[in-house]
Structure 1
Amino acid sequence: MKNILLFGAGKSATSLIDYLVSNAPRQKWHITVADHDLALIKSKTGKSYYVTPAAIDIRDEASRQKLIQETDLVISLLPAQLHILVAKDCLQFSKNLLTASYIDPEVKKLEKEIEDAGLLFMYEMGLDPGIDHMSAMKLIHSIEKKGGQISAFRSYCGGLVSPESNDNPWQYKISWNARNIVLAGNSGATYREKGKTKEVSYQHLFDQSKTIHIPSLGKLAYYPNRDSLNYISAYKLEEVPTFMRATLRYPDFCEGWGTLVKLGLTDDTKKIQTDNMTFYEWTSQHIDQDTSISHEENIANYLGISAKSKILRQLKFLGLLNSETIHLGEQTNASVLQHIVESKLGMEVTDKDMIVMTHEIEFERRGMSTRLHSYMIAQGEDNIRTAMAKTVGLPLGIMAKLILQDKVTLKGLHIPITPDIYNPVLKELEEFNIRFEESFE
């Protein structure tokens, strides 16, 4: 019997655990799920004969290494900064590693050692990054195989609230790690447009006027995602004039979030004492107060908006204009905001989320210019079995199965961009209603 070790039982782990457990009898494998919260593990695994819960502190080296030594394959859904602890142990004890997180500089330093050890460390094997790489590379390879010359590549993905659950002025609810949401985009973005490198600062990132039309959904806003140029060489599109990866949101979210950035409420660099600070005082900490006018008018004047603006409705919805005391001790603004959005923008039991992904590729073949649209919409079931959990977890589960069935010969540090990976993974994802539709113009 083969053994799989999963680190992390949080929001994104649900569908992965379901997949591993359902395949365990047929595949003859056993799963150990490790997390600091034993109750959380048991809520995800039930009483399955094929699962062992392990409540550990991931920073406890002895406990962590004991589990890694006893397994055949490691999957990490830990916070990104903790992956390196697991990666170094996997290298030391010769274990393959899968994770949905980005390749970071620390693991990049281990690239030659991983390859020399004959191990596979597959990073970015989730949704975005993950399914975006696989679906994009399948299209790119197909176009190139038929002699097409690509001139523009744009890829968009977003975790959104499903229309039937879209009932707040932010048009957003949290289906994944709230801290990542709060800090998203804080380093700005870089991409290529018509041969020129474009850089967008954090302060201007959430411009809701940038939109794209999605079939059956209508207009969604987007903002460039991190440094798109990092993937040009991986996709082998070095000569393509336009290359951008972007995040999708409803337009109202982008406008509201841009306001939070302008107010300085996403800053994570310095701590402030919140125990005697009201939410309005926190919200307006960078504003010179005019005591002759209302809180709403002070905020509106600073932002240059109407006192009846939907932005003020968004701020009120989060409770940012009230006189209640925060009482969170010493925190950064980003930590305070994380607490607020977790409280105000959480998913209710019956809420559903939605993943939207689309690729736009412009190419020329036999003298004819063509634009290819490929899009995928995945729906969640409820606030536990979310579309986010499905699209992050299922690619990891399928990849684990391929490795344990000895169907993967790839070694080294990789992301999923080769046909031997993306073909079987995308094919099985279709069994879970995660599939792409294509159109040409």
Structure 2
Amino acid sequence: MSKIHWLGTGLSAIPGLKMLIENGHSVIVYNRTVEKAREALIGIEGDYRIVEFSLEALEQNAIAEDVVVSMLPGNFHVPVAELSLSIGAHFVSSSYISDEMKALHERSLKENLCLVNEVGLDPGIDHSMSHALVEDYKKSNVFSTENKHSFLSYCGGLSDVPNDFCYKFSWSPLGVLKALMSTSVSIRDSQIYTVHKPWEAVELYPLPMPWGEDEFEVYPNRDSIPFIEQYQMDNGLKIDQFVRGTLRYKGWKDAWSDIFSEVDTLDPEIAEDRLKAISEDLWNKYSYRDAEVDRVILTVELKVKNGSKVIWHKQFLLDTLGNTRGSAMAQLVSCSVALAVEAVLNKEIPKGVTAAPHQSKLVKRWLNQADEISDHFVLIDHLS
């Protein structure tokens, strides 16, 4: 029987790890601090053991056809994937596919191994929602490449109740601060839309919540363009709008205005040190405390027009709060990773370097689990 090698028991790892153990899989858990891993798994019974993390320990324990799961910081993924290939083991992570990971595709095909990525929340569940919407639309009687297509996908990790800063941190704010200095590329009005300063692209975005319409702030992040092909919208479809971005509470832009001003005027020579100082200050003021509840909102929307008339318009909306099973973020990320691990073991995932699967059966499985975890999960047909 293949073993699962689960690397890392950090904030977003535990619910999915527990799920695999409780589902009867044989798991070796690796963590730098063995005692922390033990504490995280108190009360969990099953076929697992905990060892101190090192690549040497992984190489010693893993064999061909095992599955290695990296819940480690992103800089570990490629070395772990390379080691997995040398062992003959499959690999799973929730992170975006880097160029270095992509470069392992041909080798993994040759070795008949899966290197699965982008199977968390965002990226992950958002991909599943996107695949479901595009497949649904293409099967409809209004599908035509001549229509105009608007695709919007926004995700946000939020506090349960908005504070004066409209945000809380579950880990170091440094990553969020550095992201504010990153360029995004999307499509708006059928043109490439490049944003160098995210705060300059913030706009209001209403969501149809159970209690009525609620406004949030959204902005594009990263490079959305490659996902047109990933979502199979590249086969001649006219794209009027295509955005993957971040969602925040209304008021976030104003609350962060001083941060934006400082980031915008940072001297490159001292930028790293200054960002670390800002990060430490924000962590002290706005980090989650014990027993505080987090919230995740994810929405993916596809609107189609023929001329000026909307002829197809559907939207997924997920709203999840943390609970006794773990934080909302941890459950949505790690339980999706666990599904990917089981899909690899069941030989349901194509070989090579891949992102979240687009096969209908697997998409439904991912979305059903997200529904079970969420407090509110709905597919809205705006024209019904």
* TM-score w.r.t. length of structure 1: 0.77
Residue in structure 2 matched with residue 319 of structure 1 by the alignment: none
Does the 8 A contact of 1:114 with 1:412 survive in 2? yes
Task: Tell me how far apart the structure 2 counterparts of residues 144 and 70 of structure 1 sit (CA, whole Å).
Answer: 40
Moved more, 425-434 or 87-96: 425-434
Which of 26, 35, 42 does residue 31 from structure 2 map onto? 35
Which residues of 2 match residues 28-427 of structure 1 at below 5 A?
29-46=25-42, 48-56=45-53, 58=54, 61-69=55-63, 72-147=66-141, 148-149=143-144, 151-163=149-161, 166=162, 168-176=163-171, 178-202=173-197, 205-207=198-200, 210-216=203-209, 218-238=214-234, 239=237, 240-264=239-263, 270-271=269-270, 332-364=273-305, 369-381=311-323, 385-404=326-345, 406-419=346-359, 420-427=361-368
Q: Give the letter aligned to residue 107 of structure 1.
A: M
- Once the two structures are aligned, what percentage of the paired residues are identical? 23
CA deviation after TM superposition for structure 1 residue 69, in Å? 3.5
Letter paired with 2:206: H
Structure 2: 5+ residue stretches without partners:
none
CA distance in 2, matches of 1:155, 1:387: 19
Give yes or no for contact 1:268–1:332 (8 Å, CA) kept in 2.
Answer: no
Instruction: Return 5+ residue gaps in structure 1 as ranges.
Output: 273-330
| Match for residue 438 of structure 1 among 375, 380, 383 | 380
* 1:421 to partner: Cα distance: 2.6
CA distance in 2, matches of 1:268, 1:116: 47
1:32 aligned counterpart, secondary structure:
strand
Question: Measured at CA, do residues 440 and 17 of structure 1 come closer, stay the same or move farther in structure 2, by a change above 3 Å?
Answer: same
Separation of aligned partners in 2, 1:388 and 1:368: 34
CA distance in 2, matches of 1:335, 1:265: 15
Deviation, 1:64, is 3.5
What residue identity is the alignment partner of 2:244? R
Larger Rg: 1
> Are the structure 2 counterparts of residues 437 and 209 from structure 1 closer, same or farther at C-alpha, using a change threshold of 3 Å?
same
SS at match of 1:233: helix
Report how far residue 70 of structure 1 moved: 7.7
SS at match of 1:232: helix
Give how far 1:395 is off.
Answer: 0.7
Match of 1:9 in 2: 9
- Runs of 4 or more consecutive aligned structure 1 residues displaced over 4 Å after TM superposition: 265-272, 364-368
CA distance in 1, matches of 2:368, 2:101: 29
- The CA deviation at 1:129 is 0.4
Aligned residues: 369
**CA 1:71–1:175 in structure 2 vs 1: closer, same or farther (change >3 Å)?**
farther
| C-alpha separation in 2, matches of 1:431 and 1:268 | 47
- Partners of 2:101 and 2:348 lie apart in 1 by 21
Q: Measure how far apart 1:335 and its partner are.
A: 1.9
Q: 1:355 to 1:174 in 2, by over 3 A?
A: same
Shift in Å, 1:206: 1.7
Secondary structure of 1:2's aligned partner: coil
Alignment check: 8 A CA contact 1:4 1:71 kept? no
CA distance in 1, matches of 2:354, 2:67: 16
User: C-alpha displacement at 1:209, in angstroms?
Assistant: 5.1
* Separation of aligned partners in 2, 1:186 and 1:69: 42
Alpha carbons 1:268, 1:334 under 8 Å: kept:
no
Whether contact under 8 Å (1:355, 1:378) holds in the other structure is yes
Change (3 A) 1:426 1:338: same
TM-score by length of 2: 0.88
Q: Distance in 1 between matches of 2:319 and 2:265?
A: 29
Equivalent position SS for 1:12: coil
Change (3 A) 1:269 1:5: farther
Decide whether the 8 Å contact of 2:224 with 2:242 is kept in 1. yes
Aligned equivalents of 1:174 and 1:157: distance in 2?
15
Residue identity in the other structure for 2:182: S
Q: Tell me how far apart the structure 2 counterparts of residues 68 and 339 of structure 1 sit (CA, whole Å).
A: 38
- Output the CA distance in 1 between the equivalents of 2:102 and 2:269: 29
Whole-Å Cα distance in 1 between the matches of residues 293 and 356 of structure 2? Answer: 28
Q: Secondary structure at the match of 1:74?
A: strand
Within 2, Cα distance between the matches of 1:264 and 1:70? 47
Deviation readout 1:288-331 (Å, 9 max, x if unpaired): xxxxxxxxxxxxxxxxxxxxxxxxxxxxxxxxxxxxxxxxxxx6
Q: CA deviation at 1:257?
A: 3.2
- Partner-residue secondary structure (3-state), 1:85: helix
Kindly report the root-mean-square deviation, in angstroms, between the aligned alpha carbons of the 2 structures. 2.6
Counterpart residue identity of residue 381, structure 2? S
Q: How many Å apart are 1:265 and its aligned residue? A: 8.4
C-alpha spacing 1:126/1:104, structure 2 compared with 1 (3 Å): same
